[in-house]
Amino acid sequence: QVQLVESGGGLVQAGGSLRLSCAASGRTFSRNAMAWFRQAPGKEREFVAGISWTGGRPFYAGSVNGRFTIARDNVKNTVTVSLQMNLLKPEDTARYYCAASADEKSGRWDGLYYYWGQGTQVTVSS
C-alpha cells in the first residue's frame, strides 16, 4: 500500500521555525520527484518546494525561496523528504502536503504529482 505520511506541523510564532517530514513507502520512490504543496483556507493549492529524484536540483516558490529548504533521503524502499521552514510568516499558515511524481519528471505543476499525503497543519501566529 502506497503511503505518504507527513509530520512536524504545529503552531509557531512569526519568525520561528518548523521542520516537516514526509515518509513515502509502499513502492520504490527513489526515481520519483518529490514536492511540498500547501493550501490555505479559501485559497487554491500552491507549490512550495520540489526536488528531483537525484536530490540535486531543489526548486522553490518565490515566496519561500531563501527561507525554506527541501531535502530528500533515499533509503532502500523508503524515501524521506523534509522541509525546513525558517523565518515563518503568518501568510505561511496552511495545510502542507507531500507529493510524489508519477515518474522522474519534476516541476511546479501539481498535475505532475500522482501520490499525495493527507497533509499536516502549519499555523503561524503574528
pLDDT tens digit string along 28-66?
A: 898 999 999 999 999 999 999 999 988 888 999 999 999
Q: Is pLDDT larger for residue 78 or for residue 89?
A: 89
Q: Please tell me what DSSP assigns to residue 118.
A: -
Q: Is 112 helix (H, G, I), strand (E, B) or coil?
A: helix
User: What integer pLDDT is reported at residue 74 of this predicted model?
Assistant: 87
The residues, any chain, with a CB within 8 Å of residue 95's CB and separated by 6 or more, are 38, 39, 40, 119, 120, 121, 122
**In the predicted model, is pLDDT for residue 76 greater than 80?**
no
Q: Where are the alpha helices (DSSP H) in the chain?
A: none
* d(C-alpha 108, C-alpha 99), whole Å: 11
